Copies of this chain bind each other. A is one copy, B any other.
Amino acid sequence: MSNLIQTGDNADITKERRNATFDIHDMSLFLYGSEEILKRRKEMLAFVKSKPEFNDPIPTEFMNREQRVDNGARKIVAMTDNTDEIDAGDFFGEGMYFQGLIMGRDLHPMSLHYVMFLPTIQGQSDDEQLDEWLPLTISRSFVGTYAQTELGHGTNLSKLETTATYDPKTGEFVLHSPSITAAKWWPGGLGKSANVAIVVANLYTQGECKGPHPFFVQLRDYDTHEPLKGITVGDIGPKLGFNTSDNGFLLFNNFRIPRRNMLMKYAKVLPDGTYIKPQHAKLAFGTMVFVTEQLGEGNTELLPEIHALTSGLKSVVSYEVALGIEQCRMACGGHGYSQASAFPEIYAYAVAGCTYEGENIVMLLQVARFLMKAAEEVVNGKAKLADICAYLAKRGANKSRLRTADEYGGDVIIEDLEHVARNQVFRAYDSLKRKEKEMSSEEAWNKTAIELCKASRWHVRLYLAKNFLHKISTAKGAIREPLENLARLYAFDIITSSHGEFLRGGFMSEAQLDELKGGFYTLLERLRRNAVAIVDSWDFDDKELHSVLGKRDGNVYSSLLDWAQQSQLNRTQVLPTFNKYLGPMMKEGRSKL
């Protein structure tokens, strides 16, 4: 059933693969969507393996930071040299796979160049600016980054301190960091690699502040790479993960740039200092949400729905993924704690998603704002709800239709999750309204925050479970059963681990819950024989997974020993440090006895 079995493999893993009830190719096809995509993955993998310059001289976990940054620069130049040949320039689509194969679970000196700088140039420049900057960006004539977050101000954009003051006498903007907290902080590649940046600063003209706007700023001399006068720039130091990236800080001391370095697709400043405002206030920050295509058309009607959903998904998924990774790591015991397993790196990589691009709790509270507005519309009978929120206006049953765990699936599960999500949204809403009569709205909001975050989480969980169940209902053949078991396990887990919500109001009885708990073991048992095959179906090559514990052949113990040989400390039997400290100490000890 599995094309991954080879002679010499660990016998246990081969047995697991033989035991599977489905063909992993069928499952891969279902997961990735088409033969074409699977073929492209194979092509890209073969291409990467064919180029020795994409390899690391030693695994990166044995490198120090300087070596990592050097190796990352080497590989990203090699990678972008070769991107056209394999046609993998789509950095948000299949190109992600290509990049991951080469760069691993890390950023690199040009991550922000492609992920933030380029889209901002494309989305926020006027035609003339585009003609000037786009060819330079694409030809890699400079390395760009995106400098928005400041030392004292992250998610809260309205607090940014960096100023760009227009001087009509010279036709220039003066960039300045009025305090230490104004220092740009975190942008990837800013520390040592980038020589240009999109800098987000508060625009001042004619004595008025017009809020944050993006500016194209050269930071370093194009030839010598030395920072320009008026620019202080450097690396922010080591982090939990992403240590190949030289995340940077940046301070301006009255640094002047030409007027036309302001990105002027939407807002503009005329030579005399007159400010022309954009058509729609939110358009100026499209880069952070990646719906630039629709924004380009001026379609802003769906923004609140999309914003609430993506914010919520970002928050719930990043957190649950991080928790799940740690659970898997701990299930591997001590070996999971070793970097040989790759879990420490995978966790550091994934858990960052709870923080970057909008801190998770802030995101959940944004979703809650949207849900409270929707709830109010339902209460007032004026709701025009899109699909994802339609459940808020439904009248559901008072009792779950759950009879036996085995029959419990699809629509009935969704009804039950809808019931709990709806109840939580309205419970938070009622509590908020009650409090608003006694205190300020802000206070009331803060004192409902736990219930609001819960409402957001249920809204997102419902969406996830609904889509999961819907998607697997389209599966055909032998893959259908394990997928159904997986989706139901997911739902059973949500319900049994939050069962208080389902007991409330007698919606479920204790007997129903106990039935689900029993069903949970049954699902685990059914899934057990397919566990390895399900993982295999994700088509992770050893090159991509980069984990001694996760190797295809299952020969983990000999591989652990081989891996350890590469430790920096094993280059000599006796470390130079021995003769400096421990050696003399022991000699002295023996001499005294």
Residues of chain A at the chain B interface (Cβ within 8 Å): 61-62, 64-66, 69-70, 73-74, 76-77, 80, 109, 135-136, 139-143, 149, 151-152, 154-155, 180-181, 183, 185-186, 191-193, 195, 222, 224-227, 234-241, 246, 249, 326, 330-331, 333-334, 336-340, 343-344, 348, 351-352, 354-356, 359-361, 447, 450-451, 498-505, 510, 513, 517, 520-521, 557-558, 560-561, 563-570, 573-578, 580-583, 585-586, 588-590, 592-593
Contact = CB atoms under 8 A, between A and B. Distances in A.
Given A222-B590, A240-B337, A564 B143 contact: no
Given A180-B558, A239-B338, A246-B569, A140 B585 contact: yes
A211 B287 CA distance: 65
A330 B356 contact: no
A225 B557 contact: no
Nearest to A525: B447
A344 B180 contact: no
11 contacts: A64-B568, A69-B577, A74-B580, A109-B582, A191-B569, A226-B573, A227-B573, A246-B569, A450-B517, A450-B521, A503-B504
B237 A567 contact: yes
Oligomer: number of copies = 2
Contacts of A135: 593
A583 to B, nearest CB: 7
- Prevailing SS type, chain A contact patch: helix
B149 A334 contact: yes
Contact of A561 (B80, B136, B151): B151
A237 B192 contact: no
B333 A359 contact: yes
B238 A586 contact: no
A360 to B, nearest CB: 7
B344 A330 contact: no
A557 B589 contact: no
A580 B141 contact: no
Given A154-B334, A239-B339, A450-B520, 4 more contacts: A61-B237, A61-B238, A141-B586, A240-B338
Q: Which of A135, A227, A450 is the most central at the interface, judged by chain B CB atoms within 10 Å of its CB?
A: A450
Contacts of A193: 578, 582
B61 A564 contact: no
Given A70-B580, A359-B333, A558-B180, A338 B586 contact: no
Contacts of A586: 140-143, 195, 222
Nearest to A501: B500
B339 A356 contact: no
A504 B109 CA distance: 55
Contact of A334 (B225, B356, B505, B510): B356
A246 B569 CA distance: 8
Contacts of A568: 64-66
A62 B235 CA distance: 12
Greatest chain B CB density within 10 A among A224, A501, A564 is at A564
A440 to B, nearest CB: 14
A180 B236 contact: no
Contact of A578 (B64, B192, B339, B517): B192
A62 B237 contact: yes
Contacts of A503: 500, 503-504
A240 B334 contact: no
A338 B247 CA distance: 10
A181 B557 contact: yes
A589 B70 CA distance: 20
A569 B192 contact: yes
A337 B359 contact: no
Nearest to A141: B589
B338 A593 contact: no
A94 to B, nearest CB: 24
Contact of A338 (B61, B181, B237): B237
Going nearest first, the 9 A-B pairs with the smallest beta carbon separation are A500-B500, A141-B589, A64-B64, A235-B569, A499-B500, A240-B344, A70-B577, A139-B589, A73-B581
Contacts of A61: 237-238
A447 B338 contact: no
A578 B69 CA distance: 10
Contacts of A80: 585
Nearest to A224: B574
B330 A360 contact: yes
A563 B238 CA distance: 10
A365 to B, nearest CB: 14
Contacts of A560: 151, 185, 236
B234 A570 contact: yes
